[in-house]
Structure 1
């Protein structure tokens, strides 16, 4: 091989050639996702490949992950009382001009067009983090692989929020995130208290109130 090409690189990939995860199959799966939300089982049946190959195309080749669409319960009286308490806390601790210096943040699932199949609530999507404030939208943080735990959240997300928050507002602003498990972890809360100029911690942000965060309500 060295005599022929002058390189130790293989002229072709070792092992058996792909028979299922071909470019044609990948393009067909991508087109199916654009047309409708389907399960990996249905994709496998329609394309004549194994379910394992279908899942590998979705995960490894297209970078998608399966998520389950959940319907949250309506607000109860207890939630409404907590909203009043939160509103009074905001009025006491934030002046009017300071409320426009809150960085709202959250993770969202993005699929092709956001239309869910009511017969199959599991969707294939990519998880991203986004921050938004009164002046701008912050750069996306895309989670290519795996789940987001507190360690990954601290390492990949919070430094981005701190960097751009300081760039936009200087040292006079507050960071907000909801009650997701990576957010309320003790180490996450401590990092936020130690680094952000202001922080709405887990003891003050309301549960079951996605409409209070612009990113949870609508993008």
Structure 2
């Protein structure tokens, strides 16, 4: 979810500081509009690049909308990158784990990691979570946001500027992360 005030995730965004004033200097205090205009986006990533950006300007995304608007783009992107030799993986979002979404994926993708074989909450294994979303957000010029239209334009520009080197490195680190998680019996990776 992105809004014209920026992207914030209170679960992931942390500032290490001695006290509140130091945290504020490092960006801890942000002015936000009361009801900012916002949009939801979907993005896929693989070692060869990022998928086209899917933008949801209005409403929420349920499994029907996910199946109709996202999965065909993911399938076309994957097939374009790898032919018929690739595996589709998604996180544990409700729309992803819905029975109809799971059924569509199992029938359409060359290979698919279903919800029963994917760790339910594992940002350490998802390059989008541990790298790409942050890279994407850093490329947006947040001080130029004045409307939903300027936000969409900025997001479309930023996704094209994600460095292929960053994508390759983030995907390559996945094998190491999987190994570290298996050694730690599935606990989060500590840095």
How does the TM-score come out when normalised to structure 1?
0.46
Q: Deviations over 1:154-209 (max 9, x none)?
A: 00000001111111111110001011100000000000000000001100111221
Give the aligned CA root-mean-square deviation in angstroms. 2.8
Q: Does 1:71 align with 2:71?
A: no
Gaps of 5+ in 2: 13-26, 133-191
CA distance in 2 between counterparts of 1:211 and 1:191 reads 26
Gaps of 5+ in 1: 1-32, 38-66, 73-114
Matched length = 114
Q: How far did residue 125 of structure 1 move?
A: 3.4
Partner of 1:205: helix, strand, or coil?
Answer: coil
Partner of 2:47: helix, strand, or coil?
Answer: coil
The one of the two structures with greater contact order (alpha-carbon pairs below 8 A, sep at least 6) is 2
Structure ID, larger Rg: 1
For 2:173, the equivalent position in structure 1 comes to none
Q: Does 1:136 align with 2:49?
A: yes
For 2:158, the equivalent position in structure 1 comes to none
Q: Does 1:159 align with 2:83?
A: no
Normalized per residue, the structure richer in strand is: 1
Runs of 4+ residues deviating >3 angstroms: 67-70, 115-120, 122-125
For 1:216, the equivalent position in structure 2 comes to 129
What is the aligned counterpart of 2:62 among 149, 155, 158?
149
Q: Deviations over 1:54-87 (max 9, x none)?
A: xxxxxxxxxxxxx984427xxxxxxxxxxxxxxx
For 2:95, the equivalent position in structure 1 comes to 182
